[in-house]
Protein backbone atom coordinates (compact mmCIF):
# COMPACT_ATOMS: atom_id res chain seq x y z
CA UNK A 1 0.00 0.00 0.00
CA UNK A 2 2.86 2.39 0.79
CA UNK A 3 4.33 1.91 -2.69
CA UNK A 4 0.97 2.75 -4.26
CA UNK A 5 0.64 5.92 -2.16
CA UNK A 6 4.18 7.04 -3.04
CA UNK A 7 3.55 6.45 -6.74
CA UNK A 8 0.27 8.37 -6.66
CA UNK A 9 2.09 11.23 -4.92
CA UNK A 10 4.71 11.17 -7.69
CA UNK A 11 2.00 11.19 -10.37
CA UNK A 12 0.99 14.71 -9.32
CA UNK A 13 4.31 16.45 -10.21
CA UNK A 14 4.40 14.43 -13.44
CA UNK A 15 0.87 15.62 -14.23
CA UNK A 16 1.92 19.16 -13.42
CA UNK A 17 4.80 18.94 -15.90
CA UNK A 18 2.49 17.55 -18.59
CA UNK A 19 -0.05 20.29 -17.83
CA UNK A 20 2.55 22.93 -18.72
CA UNK A 21 3.04 21.40 -22.17
CA UNK A 22 -0.62 21.19 -23.16
CA UNK A 23 -2.01 23.95 -25.35
CA UNK A 24 -5.37 25.68 -25.12
CA UNK A 25 -8.01 24.12 -27.37
CA UNK A 26 -9.28 27.15 -29.28
CA UNK A 27 -12.33 25.64 -31.03
CA UNK A 28 -13.73 24.53 -27.66
CA UNK A 29 -13.99 28.06 -26.23
CA UNK A 30 -10.38 28.07 -25.01
CA UNK A 31 -10.79 24.86 -23.01
CA UNK A 32 -7.82 23.05 -21.50
CA UNK A 33 -7.13 19.50 -20.48
CA UNK A 34 -6.79 19.79 -16.72
CA UNK A 35 -4.39 16.95 -15.98
CA UNK A 36 -3.52 17.81 -12.35
CA UNK A 37 -7.18 17.86 -11.17
CA UNK A 38 -7.87 14.74 -13.26
CA UNK A 39 -5.06 12.75 -11.67
CA UNK A 40 -6.02 14.00 -8.22
CA UNK A 41 -9.73 13.14 -8.60
CA UNK A 42 -9.00 9.68 -9.97
CA UNK A 43 -6.49 9.00 -7.19
CA UNK A 44 -8.84 10.42 -4.54
CA UNK A 45 -11.40 7.67 -5.07
CA UNK A 46 -8.75 4.94 -4.79
CA UNK A 47 -7.26 5.90 -1.42
CA UNK A 48 -8.46 6.47 2.14
CA UNK A 49 -9.35 9.88 3.55
CA UNK A 50 -6.00 10.78 5.19
CA UNK A 51 -4.09 9.96 2.00
CA UNK A 52 -6.66 11.90 -0.04
CA UNK A 53 -6.04 14.95 2.15
CA UNK A 54 -2.29 14.60 1.59
CA UNK A 55 -2.93 14.36 -2.16
CA UNK A 56 -5.19 17.43 -1.94
CA UNK A 57 -2.42 19.39 -0.24
CA UNK A 58 0.13 18.37 -2.89
CA UNK A 59 -2.25 18.94 -5.81
CA UNK A 60 -3.32 22.33 -4.45
CA UNK A 61 0.28 23.35 -3.93
CA UNK A 62 1.23 22.36 -7.48
CA UNK A 63 -1.91 23.94 -8.95
CA UNK A 64 -1.25 27.22 -7.15
CA UNK A 65 2.43 27.14 -8.10
CA UNK A 66 1.41 26.93 -11.77
CA UNK A 67 -1.17 29.69 -11.55
CA UNK A 68 0.56 32.24 -9.35
CA UNK A 69 0.83 35.61 -11.09
CA UNK A 70 3.46 37.92 -9.71
CA UNK A 71 3.00 41.60 -10.58
CA UNK A 72 5.99 43.54 -11.87
CA UNK A 73 7.82 45.40 -9.11
CA UNK A 74 6.90 48.83 -10.48
CA UNK A 75 3.17 48.16 -10.61
CA UNK A 76 3.13 46.38 -7.25
CA UNK A 77 4.15 49.60 -5.55
CA UNK A 78 1.95 51.88 -7.66
CA UNK A 79 -1.55 50.52 -7.07
CA UNK A 80 -3.66 47.63 -5.95
CA UNK A 81 -5.25 45.78 -8.84
CA UNK A 82 -7.85 43.05 -9.17
CA UNK A 83 -6.47 39.55 -8.55
CA UNK A 84 -5.73 37.54 -11.68
CA UNK A 85 -5.60 34.23 -9.83
CA UNK A 86 -6.44 32.78 -6.44
CA UNK A 87 -4.05 33.53 -3.60
CA UNK A 88 -1.39 30.91 -3.06
CA UNK A 89 -2.83 28.13 -0.91
CA UNK A 90 -6.48 28.79 -1.73
CA UNK A 91 -6.72 25.76 -4.02
CA UNK A 92 -5.81 23.29 -1.29
CA UNK A 93 -9.21 23.40 0.48
CA UNK A 94 -10.95 23.35 -2.92
CA UNK A 95 -9.07 20.18 -3.83
CA UNK A 96 -9.97 18.72 -0.42
CA UNK A 97 -13.67 19.43 -1.03
CA UNK A 98 -13.49 17.94 -4.52
CA UNK A 99 -11.72 14.88 -3.14
CA UNK A 100 -14.39 14.52 -0.45
CA UNK A 101 -17.04 14.40 -3.19
CA UNK A 102 -15.10 11.64 -4.92
CA UNK A 103 -14.76 9.78 -1.61
CA UNK A 104 -18.56 9.65 -1.52
CA UNK A 105 -18.65 7.17 -4.42
CA UNK A 106 -15.76 5.12 -3.08
CA UNK A 107 -18.06 2.27 -1.93
CA UNK A 108 -19.27 1.88 -5.52
CA UNK A 109 -15.69 2.04 -6.77
CA UNK A 110 -14.59 -0.61 -4.29
CA UNK A 111 -17.30 -2.91 -5.65
CA UNK A 112 -15.73 -2.59 -9.10
CA UNK A 113 -18.07 0.03 -10.55
CA UNK A 114 -15.40 2.50 -11.67
CA UNK A 115 -17.43 3.89 -14.59
CA UNK A 116 -19.57 5.95 -12.23
CA UNK A 117 -16.38 7.42 -10.78
CA UNK A 118 -15.20 8.25 -14.30
CA UNK A 119 -18.43 10.14 -15.01
CA UNK A 120 -18.37 11.83 -11.62
CA UNK A 121 -14.85 13.07 -12.36
CA UNK A 122 -16.27 15.47 -14.95
CA UNK A 123 -19.08 16.64 -12.65
CA UNK A 124 -16.75 17.18 -9.69
CA UNK A 125 -14.24 18.97 -11.93
CA UNK A 126 -16.97 21.35 -13.08
CA UNK A 127 -17.94 21.96 -9.44
CA UNK A 128 -14.24 22.54 -8.63
CA UNK A 129 -13.92 25.11 -11.44
CA UNK A 130 -17.14 26.80 -10.30
CA UNK A 131 -15.79 27.01 -6.73
CA UNK A 132 -12.55 28.54 -8.02
CA UNK A 133 -14.54 31.07 -10.04
CA UNK A 134 -16.77 31.90 -7.07
CA UNK A 135 -13.80 32.52 -4.76
CA UNK A 136 -12.07 34.63 -7.41
CA UNK A 137 -15.28 36.62 -7.99
CA UNK A 138 -15.58 37.20 -4.25
CA UNK A 139 -12.01 38.50 -4.13
CA UNK A 140 -12.71 40.80 -7.08
CA UNK A 141 -15.80 42.17 -5.38
CA UNK A 142 -18.52 41.13 -7.80
CA UNK A 143 -20.05 38.07 -9.38
CA UNK A 144 -20.51 38.09 -13.13
CA UNK A 145 -20.31 34.84 -15.10
CA UNK A 146 -19.87 35.58 -18.79
CA UNK A 147 -21.18 32.99 -21.23
CA UNK A 148 -17.67 32.46 -22.63
CA UNK A 149 -16.31 31.61 -19.17
CA UNK A 150 -19.17 29.19 -18.53
CA UNK A 151 -18.55 27.48 -21.88
CA UNK A 152 -14.83 27.31 -21.17
CA UNK A 153 -15.42 25.70 -17.77
CA UNK A 154 -17.91 23.14 -19.09
CA UNK A 155 -15.75 22.32 -22.12
CA UNK A 156 -12.66 21.88 -19.95
CA UNK A 157 -14.53 19.59 -17.55
CA UNK A 158 -16.03 17.60 -20.43
CA UNK A 159 -12.83 16.93 -22.35
CA UNK A 160 -10.94 16.18 -19.15
CA UNK A 161 -13.66 13.71 -18.14
CA UNK A 162 -13.09 11.86 -21.43
CA UNK A 163 -9.54 11.08 -20.26
CA UNK A 164 -10.61 9.73 -16.86
CA UNK A 165 -10.93 6.10 -18.06
CA UNK A 166 -7.30 6.24 -19.21
CA UNK A 167 -6.27 7.59 -15.83
CA UNK A 168 -8.17 4.79 -14.08
CA UNK A 169 -6.51 2.18 -16.32
CA UNK A 170 -3.13 3.62 -15.35
CA UNK A 171 -4.07 3.49 -11.65
CA UNK A 172 -5.29 -0.12 -12.01
CA UNK A 173 -1.95 -1.11 -13.55
CA UNK A 174 0.01 0.71 -10.87
CA UNK A 175 -2.10 -0.98 -8.18
CA UNK A 176 -1.53 -4.39 -9.76
CA UNK A 177 2.23 -3.78 -9.88
CA UNK A 178 2.18 -2.76 -6.20
CA UNK A 179 -0.11 -5.64 -5.12
CA UNK A 180 -2.61 -3.09 -3.85
CA UNK A 181 -6.27 -4.15 -4.35
CA UNK A 182 -8.32 -1.18 -5.50
CA UNK A 183 -11.66 -2.94 -5.50
CA UNK A 184 -11.52 -6.11 -3.42
CA UNK A 185 -15.24 -6.81 -3.62
CA UNK A 186 -15.28 -6.91 -7.42
CA UNK A 187 -13.87 -10.42 -7.60
CA UNK A 188 -16.31 -11.97 -5.14
CA UNK A 189 -19.49 -13.57 -6.38
CA UNK A 190 -22.74 -12.48 -4.87
CA UNK A 191 -24.64 -15.15 -3.04
CA UNK A 192 -28.39 -15.24 -2.95
CA UNK A 193 -30.28 -15.63 0.25
CA UNK A 194 -33.37 -17.80 -0.23
In a domain? residue 192 = no
What is the pLDDT at residue 174? 92
Does pTM surpass 0.75?
A: yes
In a domain? residue 127 = yes
In a domain? residue 194 = no
In a domain? residue 184 = no
DSSP secondary structure of 123-163: HHHHHHHHHHHHHHHHHHT-----HHHHHHHHHHHHHHHHT
Domain count, the chain: 1
In a domain? residue 191 = no
What is the pLDDT at residue 53? 94
Residue ranges of the alpha helices (H) in the chain?
Answer: 2-21, 35-44, 49-67, 73-78, 91-103, 106-110, 114-140, 147-162, 164-177
What is the pLDDT at residue 71? 52
What is the pLDDT at residue 116? 85
In a domain? residue 31 = yes
Q: Write the CATH number for 143.
A: 1.10.1760
Q: Contact at 8 Å (CB) between 46 and 171? A: yes
Q: Which domain range does residue 137 map to?
A: 2-68+85-179
What is the pLDDT at residue 82? 47
What is the pLDDT at residue 97? 92
In a domain? residue 23 = yes
What is the pLDDT at residue 191? 41
DSSP lists the bridge partners of residue 25 as 31
Averages of pLDDT over runs of 10 residues in the chain (194 residues) are 90 90 76 88 91 93 76 47 64 90 86 84 89 81 80 87 91 88 55 44
Amino acid sequence: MIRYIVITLLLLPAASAVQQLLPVIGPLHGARLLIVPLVFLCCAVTVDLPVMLLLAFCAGFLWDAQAVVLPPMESAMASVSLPESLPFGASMPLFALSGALMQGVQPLFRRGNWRISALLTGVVLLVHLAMEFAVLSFLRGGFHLPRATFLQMTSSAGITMLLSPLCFVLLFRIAAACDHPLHPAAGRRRTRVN
